[in-house]
Structure 1
């Protein structure tokens, strides 16, 4: 598993410093389970956070400044040196690699342990969802193959981890293990690929912004 779409550096830093919203942290943690690249970026962010704390406790030195610059430069070089490797159909943690029915461990407290036990709720033709009971802005979606979702933008931020299946939009191809880390500047229309349903987990910190009247009606019902 080698995801090609990763967490934004600001999201990684927010996760490292525990400043992300709880639902965003869950999706980020699910991505980190399957992405060695972002785990390395997290380690760099944690080291950088430690340096910043040291600077707050004592006058900044040239050595500290140079170390922080090195960390930032290494992070940029890592982001530019990602290999393109074929990926499997299902993204999972090392534990789940031996049990493809197992959900990522970050999702288990909110959705249970297995895909088989998920209780989907109809949302629209070809689209089903589950809302986490403890975090209403944390949602799992199952979208039928070949389904074109309504064009939409985001009131603020959206973080979506692909678990099974895949989709395409103006930002590229998103397959298992990939994360879509989006802000209010992005407008897109995901289209799921043929074959298997696309299952993903999403966190929203503001409602989506739909352009079509039917999607807006559904939004009032499902509070997206």
Structure 2
């Protein structure tokens, strides 16, 4: 059972079409398996519509505000509908469907790039807004302590990890902003695979990690 869900502000941003595309993809992957967040999205549709109707500034491009209001005021908002419980989670070799256009359908088809001992990634190159990647970390691996220059949205696909925020297992999301500093440690047994969206590079605390960051492009 999913323990960590999308933040309400993320759902409001998604419903308003205000998130970078990379974040939309992770949101949609989580919504595809989480009925609780689908229900919260319906609530966010109404909250987002109210906030947009109160906004008076001219910061949005011409027509953008009207387009958002139209989307949010639809009589029947489009909300992803999770599959029945017995079909909800992808099979052991299949990625969540919203990830298919960016990474393919199956884990067996993935071509990982090694970026450190026990650490691999695949970057989605056709996402123009934000950064989207798959990460695979070996069991018992510790990620260097870091915070976030902007926002980070991560969904666990396989395996698990622990940090100061708790235990994250398949289906869980870590919805983080620049105020959070953490050091995930993957659980024993199987590699931890996750999909992550960021809008700015991570901020590593350690000197060595900072030196290697331009090479890893994280």
Both proteins in one fold, TM over 0.5 = yes
Match of 1:156 in 2: 150
More deviation, 123-132/41-50: 41-50
Deviation at 1:94, TM superposition (A): 3.3
Task: Write the distance in 2 (CA, Å) between the matches of 1:52 and 1:122.
Answer: 44
The reply on whether 1:94 has 2:87 as its aligned counterpart is: yes
Match of 2:107 in 1: 115
SS in 2 for 1:209: strand
Task: Write the distance in 2 (CA, Å) between the matches of 1:55 and 1:181.
Answer: 26
Deviation at 1:212, TM superposition (A): 1.3
RMSD of the TM alignment (CA)? 2.0
Write out aligned runs for 1:202-213 (5 A): 202-213=196-207
Task: Write the distance in 1 (CA, Å) between the matches of 2:51 and 2:10.
Answer: 17
Instruction: Find the partner of 1:167 among 161, 167, 170.
Output: 161
Match of 2:79 in 1: none
Deviation at 1:215, TM superposition (A): 1.2
> TM (normalized to structure 1)?
0.78
- Structure 1 residue runs of 5 or longer lacking an equivalent are 57-91
Deviation at 1:54, TM superposition (A): 7.3
Match of 1:45 in 2: 44
Deviation at 1:43, TM superposition (A): 1.2
Deviation at 1:48, TM superposition (A): 3.4
The reply on whether 1:21 has 2:20 as its aligned counterpart is: yes
Deviation at 1:50, TM superposition (A): 4.6
Deviation at 1:214, TM superposition (A): 2.0
What is the number of residues matched between the two proteins?
A: 187
SS in 1 for 2:32: helix
Match of 2:11 in 1: 12
- Structure 2 residue runs of 5 or longer lacking an equivalent are 56-84
Task: Write the distance in 1 (CA, Å) between the matches of 2:93 and 2:111.
Answer: 14
Instruction: Please say if residues 33 and 88 of structure 2, whose CA atoms lie closer than 8 Å, have aligned partners that are also in contact.
Output: no
